[in-house]
């Protein structure tokens, strides 16, 4: 079944139904649902869908392209055809598939593998677009999972400059879209636990069996020999990056802290250079890490802080990686419970803070000021080891919204007011600004807290999901 992605589907449909040819680029990390989105969008259209295969050279990619074309297009001419070059393949598409009378759709999925990570194929696509395709009612979609390639070699390429009509960075499902995948078969609290561990990655959430409990699924997926999520960590890095070990090292350093570029590179024993900064840029393009600037500070590079925000990778570092041997050798069906019986609630609290940082736009929508946000970040000062305030919004309407994030099993009482007052006293507001206080909580606020009317906004789990 297909859930969510209404905004993305609307953009694709508008492009398809335009009167001119459209060159559309989609990129996003593996497992994010790009191919599934394109499959849903292309239903009942005059379409051809092709997918590049990892680790194949050009000859292998062309053989796979030919095989795929024969399955989709019942042209007798193809029975004896084997394309030896991309030029031959595109000439065939031009002469035998494109139709001037109705819109055609061609999808080149995993284009970075199809191109063998080179740029020759992109240059050839530019030639065919300019000379044959742009006037033939074609929607051409280039899609890829290696974000650095898609940004640097496709979107920012000189070959396609001025030709791309739309670009879409496909990200995780929103919390509300993620909930839809559970089809009302699990409680909100249980669903939220999955989101704190797997994020809104559709493929991860698809692995959850809805007739099993949270513990049963975690044991099966992450804490069992051969569990599909027990080795997902390696697949993320080896499929995405040329130097996976370096990227893994950077993420491991960031697993429990937020660091400046200089501190991070020093700990990773990497030189401060443009080439080294590319590692950080690539991780951010993939959505694995995120950068923040301190509250009320100029956006200078030296003040920039990096934080690991990928939910699964954080969970992997905490519970899977340190226990690999136990997971591989244990015959118990309750390894998850055995390994997480101490400190799991505390870890989930930190995971909730990460969730709020990562979903700050959705939270701003709930509170009604999303169009006013200038900057959002945890409240940290230069040299601080811990955040002073969990989340701070700087707004164009001269308001600072400071957020306290609480993940507890019991209801939140009035004690939180004193905690918030102490933290807010550390803030130095710009002149003329108003301070709003917000509580974001996974458990309900007590009646006494609500009656105190201390917080300007109280965002609950029900609001989020």
What are the structure tokens assigned to 448, written together? 């006494």
Residue 53: half-sphere exposure toward Cβ, Cα within 13 Å: 13
Residue 64 main-chain phi, psi, to 5 deg:
-70, -40
Contact assessment for residue 376 and residue 391, using Cβ atoms and an 8 Å cutoff: yes
Residue 24 DSSP one-character state: E
pLDDT in tens, the chain (465 residues): 899 999 999 999 999 999 999 999 999 999 999 999 999 999 999 999 999 999 899 999 999 999 999 999 888 888 888 899 999 999 999 999 987 678 999 999 999 999 988 899 999 999 999 999 999 899 999 999 999 999 999 999 999 999 999 999 999 999 999 999 999 999 999 999 999 999 999 999 999 999 999 999 999 999 999 899 998 999 999 989 989 999 999 999 999 889 988 899 889 988 777 677 889 999 999 999 999 988 777 777 778 899 999 999 999 999 999 999 999 998 888 999 999 988 999 999 999 999 999 999 999 999 999 999 999 998 865 554 454 789 999 999 999 999 999 998 899 999 999 999 998 988 889 999 999 999 999 999 999 999 999 999 999 999 999
Tokens 């459209």 correspond to what residue?
Answer: 22
Q: Would you state the pLDDT for residue 426?
A: 83
CA gap 53, 57 in Å, rounded:
9
How far from the centroid of its chain's Cα atoms is residue 66's Cα? 32
Give the Cα separation of 263 and 42 in Å (integer).
47
Tokens, residue 9 = 């589907």
Q: What is the largest CA-CA distance in the chain?
A: 79
In the chain, what are the domain boundaries?
Answer: 6-169, 176-353, 359-464
Helix or strand run (H / E) with residue 47: strand 47-51
The angle, 0 to 180 degrees and rounded to 10, between the axes of the packed helices 344-358 and 360-367 is 70
**8 A C-beta contact, residue 250 and residue 268:** yes
Place of tokens 């005059």: 46
Is the fold of 6-169 the same as that of 176-353? no
Contact 73, 206 (CB under 8 A): no
* DSSP characters over 271-282: --SHHHHHHHHH
457-460 vs 22-27, strand pairing mode: unpaired
Question: Token digits for 413?
Answer: 């009482």
Helical (H) or strand (E) element with 13: helix 6-16
Q: Could you tell me which CATH number the domain at 176-353 has?
A: 1.10.10.10
- At residue 410, the 3 state secondary structure works out as coil
- How many whole angstroms separate alpha carbon 49 and alpha carbon 269? 44
Neighbours of 169 (CB within 10 A): 16
104-109 β-sheet, strand order:
47-51, 104-109, 138-144, 22-27, 166-169
In contact, 191 and 182? CB cutoff 8 Å: yes
Domain 359-464 has CATH 3.40.1350.10: yes
Per-residue CA distances from 202 to 28, 72, 170, 206, 360 (Å): 12, 27, 12, 6, 20
Q: Taking a C-beta distance cutoff of 8 angstroms, is the pair 389, 402 a contact? A: yes
CATH number of 6-169: 3.40.50.300
Q: d(Cα 143, Cα 154) in Å, to the nearest integer? A: 10
């Amino acid at each position: 079944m297909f859930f969510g992605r209404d905004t993305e589907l609307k953009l694709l449909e508008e492009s398809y139904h335009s009167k001119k040819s459209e060159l559309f680029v989609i990129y996003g990390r593996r497992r994010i649902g790009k191919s599934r989105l394109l499959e849903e969008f292309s239903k009942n259209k005059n379409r051809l869908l092709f997918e590049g295969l990892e680790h194949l050279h050009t000859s292998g990619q062309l053989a796979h392209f030919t095989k795929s074309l024969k399955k989709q297009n019942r042209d007798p001419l193809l029975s004896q055809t084997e394309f030896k070059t991309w030029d031959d393949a595109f000439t065939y598409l031009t002469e035998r598939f494109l139709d001037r009378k109705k819109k055609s759709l061609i999808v080149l999925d995993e284009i970075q593998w199809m191109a063998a990570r080179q740029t020759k194929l992109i240059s050839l696509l530019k030639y065919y677009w300019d000379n044959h395709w742009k006037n033939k009612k074609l929607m051409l979609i280039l899609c890829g999972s290696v974000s650095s390639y898609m940004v640097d070699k496709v979107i920012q390429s000189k070959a396609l400059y001025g030709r791309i009509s739309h670009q879409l960075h496909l990200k995780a499902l929103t919390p509300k879209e993620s909930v839809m995948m559970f089809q009302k078969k699990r409680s909100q609290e249980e669903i939220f636990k999955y989101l704190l561990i797997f994020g809104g990655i559709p493929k991860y959430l698809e692995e959850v069996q809805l007739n099993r409990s949270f513990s049963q699924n975690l044991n099966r997926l992450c804490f069992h020999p051969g569990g599909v999520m027990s080795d997902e960590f390696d697949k993320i890095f080896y499929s995405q990056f040329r130097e996976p070990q370096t990227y893994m090292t950077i993420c491991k350093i960031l697993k429990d802290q937020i660091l400046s570029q200089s501190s991070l590179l020093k700990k990773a024993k990497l030189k401060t250079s443009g080439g080294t900064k590319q590692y950080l840029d690539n991780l951010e393009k993939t959505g694995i890490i995120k950068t923040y600037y301190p509250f009320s500070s100029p956006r200078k590079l030296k003040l920039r802080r990096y934080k690991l925000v990928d939910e699964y990778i954080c969970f992997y570092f905490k519970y899977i990686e340190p226990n690999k041997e136990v997971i591989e050798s244990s015959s118990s069906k309750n390894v998850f419970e055995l390994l997480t019986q101490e400190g799991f609630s505390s870890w989930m609290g930190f995971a909730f803070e990460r969730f709020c940082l990562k979903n700050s736009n959705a939270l701003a929508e709930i509170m009604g000021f999303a169009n006013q946000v200038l900057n959002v970040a945890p409240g940290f000062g230069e040299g601080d080891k811990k955040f002073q305030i969990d989340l701070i919004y700087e707004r164009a309407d001269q308001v600072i919204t400071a957020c306290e994030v609480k993940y507890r099993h019991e209801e939140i009482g009035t004690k939180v007011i004193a905690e918030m007052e102490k933290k807010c006293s550390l803030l130095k507001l710009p002149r003329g600004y108003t301070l709003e206080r917000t509580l974001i909580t996974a458990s309900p606020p007590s009646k006494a807290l609500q009656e105190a009317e201390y917080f300007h906004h109280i965002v609950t789990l029900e609001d989020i999901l």
